[in-house]
Amino acid sequence: MTMGEEVLFVDRRVKFIYNGVAQVALPQPEQTPFEQDLNLFILQNGNYGHHNMSSQKVISTAIETATHTLFEQNFVPWKFHPRHSNFEPAMNASCTYIRTVHLEQTDVDPANVTKPLAGDVDESYSLSIATDGQVTITAASSIGIAHGLTTFTQLFYKHSSGSVYTPYTPVDITDAPMFQHRGLNMDVSRVWYSPADVIRMIDALAYNKFNRLHLHITDAQSWPLEIPALPMLAEKGSYREGLTYSPSTMAYIQDYGASRGVEVILEIDMPGHTSSIAYSYPELIAAFNEKDWSKYAAEPPSGTLKLNSTAVTNFLDTLFDDLLPRVLPYSSYFHTGGDEVNVNAYTLDDTVRSNDTAILQPLMQAFVDRAHAKVRAAGLTPIAWEEMLLTWNLTLGSDVVIQTWQSDEAVAETVSKGHKALVGNYNYWQYYPYNDYCAPLHNWRVMYAYDPLNGVPANLTHLVLGGEVHIWSEQTDPVNIDRQVWPRACAAAEVLWSGAKDEQGQNRSQITASPRLSEMRERLVARGIGAEPIQMPFCTQNGTQCAL
């Protein structure tokens, strides 16, 4: 990557040429209300099951987003220059303007470009900006072009006059991600988030080149996901009428992510974390809402799907048959959960009546085998939490991706068993440590210090697909989620994209990271994301002086 010090402005009527074809600029509404979009989406697609994604849609969306970002969501960078300094470039007749951006896609997209398995899509890109205003973004895939456009916008600032400029030309960037799975796990069960909250999160994720949004969509506390074949589930299991996700809403969210390179992955956590099913189907849940909950669960309410029950099997068949066909157009994965199963709950399970793992383990094996068979039959790849492999010692298909969360050792152990792994050690990348969910936030420095490959043998690093940061909702809701996640997740995004080590094999410098992260925070705020400040203006105005 090289960047110079010449100034270039962008013409407000800048044209985008994609593989030689000028792209039609869409009229930009000031803000797109979710309802309006949703209606439009349903209108265009006829019904929620119809998948209408294309490389052209990815490109069009990326151009639309880049234009909106450059001209409507930009910021004057006064915080990054000495106080009362004259930091803005002079504007006069001799200014050079960018009038055209050339987008050159070198390969044809794979059919699953918006719902890849890890590694299916080449996300790399190169970006050059010449001092005469020539701009070219080259990539193998439409997603790579989109990443290039995102980077392009991040080189520009708003001028007090309203113009948009970059002080960094000539620019020559060649860029590619180190990890293929770069995600956020968002808990939309303990608290309900509006579709507008979720798509705001997708916008922020895409802007940070995350490519997965894992929705932890059901849990013990509420069941917001509407399942038309099992209507009582959400009707009784939601917190309140209206606090649910309908199939059309889900399709809108999935489609919104897909067209921005963010694959939406759904998780139905099981067999634990399912007590909200008891509001509609009490006969399926053991140990529901026991007063002495800490004996049966990590937090209230306790409850788990019965482990040896035909009724549960039938219920899950109905659930999967209804839900998975609506997942398939938008994702190649389905997450069956599997964390924190409490064996004591099965002492109250009339189909088991035991907490002896020798009895429980074969039942769990059968339970998970059935679930994963359904997932595969629907054309999807299963993901499961680490406990299924490492605590319960289940034999899982080699296709199953294991999401680790408890330690670095869990990653090493998972890949040593030949499984693909996702990282996200909760000591670094989870917003609330599980054993004390009222405990402090994890500072961005802790997140930045995390190496996904820590302790992984060199010959097995290819099995580490990437990782996810986690936002659980015990003390988070729509009012504060932006500031809980951002800008700290930017630190994880950088580790997942560029790796934890720099070119010299050293941990990346937190000193040089702090101004970068502060600028990213201002860019997020300009986009309507309520990201926290990590430094006061005195620090941002003085380089790295405060970052000792």
- The window from 54-62, 215-223, 379-387, 425-433 that contacts a copy of itself (CB under 8 A) reads 215-223
* Nearer residue to a copy of itself within complex by CB, 126 or 189: 189
Say whether residue 480 binds a copy of itself (CB under 8 A).
yes
- The window from 30-38, 59-67, 262-270, 434-442 that contacts a copy of itself (CB under 8 A) reads 434-442
Say whether residue 479 binds a copy of itself (CB under 8 A).
yes
Q: How far is the CB of 279 from a copy of itself (least distance, A)?
A: 7
Q: How far is the CB of 29 from a copy of itself (least distance, A)?
A: 24
Q: What is the total count of residues that contact a copy of itself (CB under 8 A)?
A: 51
Of the candidates 1, 108, 311, 441, which one interacts with a copy of itself according to CB under 8 A? Answer: 441
Rg over alpha carbons for the chain, rounded to the nearest Å, is 24
Handedness of CA 526, 88, 209, 514 (dihedral sign): negative
CA dihedral angle for residue 4, residue 75, residue 139, residue 262, rounded to 10 degrees: 150
Q: How far is the CB of 329 from a copy of itself (least distance, A)?
A: 31
- The window from 164-172, 371-379, 417-425, 534-542 that contacts a copy of itself (CB under 8 A) reads 534-542
Give residues with Cβ within 8 angstroms of 146, minimum separation 6.
Answer: 58, 59, 61, 62, 206, 260, 261
* Nearer residue to a copy of itself within complex by CB, 405 or 472: 472
Say whether residue 427 binds a copy of itself (CB under 8 A).
no
Of the candidates 3, 130, 196, 546, which one interacts with a copy of itself according to CB under 8 A? Answer: 546
Q: Is 477 left (phi over 0), alpha (psi -120 to 50) or beta?
A: beta
Say whether residue 440 binds a copy of itself (CB under 8 A).
yes
Q: Which of 88, 263, 290, 340 is catalytic?
A: 340
* Nearer residue to a copy of itself within complex by CB, 54 or 544: 544
Q: Is the distance from CB of 262 to CB of 202 less than 8 angstroms?
A: yes
SS3 content of the chain, % helix, strand, coil (to 5): 35, 20, 45
Using CB under 8 A as the binding rule, the residues of this chain from 267 to 296 that contact a copy of itself are 279, 293-294
Please state, in angstroms and rounded to a whole number, the distance separating the CA atoms of residues 310 and 325: 23
Say whether residue 544 binds a copy of itself (CB under 8 A).
no
Using CB under 8 A as the binding rule, the residues of this chain from 122 to 141 that contact a copy of itself are none
Q: What number of residues does the chain have? A: 548
Of the candidates 374, 457, 376, 369, the one whose C-alpha atom is nearest the C-alpha of residue 409 is: 457
Give residues with Cβ within 8 angstroms of 313, minimum separation 6.
Answer: 370
User: Which pair of tokens denotes residue 310?
Assistant: 């035909």
Say whether residue 196 binds a copy of itself (CB under 8 A).
no
Say whether residue 542 binds a copy of itself (CB under 8 A).
yes
Using CB under 8 A as the binding rule, the residues of this chain from 297 to 316 that contact a copy of itself are 299-301
Please state, in angstroms and rounded to a whole number, the distance separating the CA atoms of residues 21 and 244: 42
What is the amino acid identity at position 218?
Answer: T
Of the candidates 78, 320, 385, 432, which one interacts with a copy of itself according to CB under 8 A? Answer: 78
CA dihedral angle for residue 247, residue 252, residue 258, residue 263, rounded to 10 degrees: -50
Binding mask 509-528 for a copy of itself (x = CB under 8 A): ----------------x---
| CA 40 remoteness from chain centre | 25
Q: How far is the CB of 276 from a copy of itself (least distance, A)?
A: 9
Q: Would you call 312 helix, strand, or coil by DSSP?
A: helix
How many CB atoms are closer than 10 A to CB 28?
Answer: 12
Q: At what angle do helices 247-258 and 310-327 cross, to 10 degrees?
A: 50
Say whether residue 77 binds a copy of itself (CB under 8 A).
no
Q: Would you call 48 helix, strand, or coil by DSSP?
A: coil
Say whether residue 190 binds a copy of itself (CB under 8 A).
yes
Say whether residue 445 binds a copy of itself (CB under 8 A).
yes
Strands (E), 366-500: 381-385, 401-403, 421-423, 464-471
Say whether residue 541 binds a copy of itself (CB under 8 A).
yes
Active site annotation includes 340: yes
What is the amino acid identity at position 207?
Answer: Y
- Catalytic residues, which ones? 340
Residues forming contacts to a copy of itself in the complex (CB under 8 A) are 78-79, 83-84, 190-192, 220-222, 236, 238-241, 279, 293-294, 299-301, 438-441, 443, 445, 473-477, 479-480, 483, 525, 530-539, 541-542, 545-546, 548
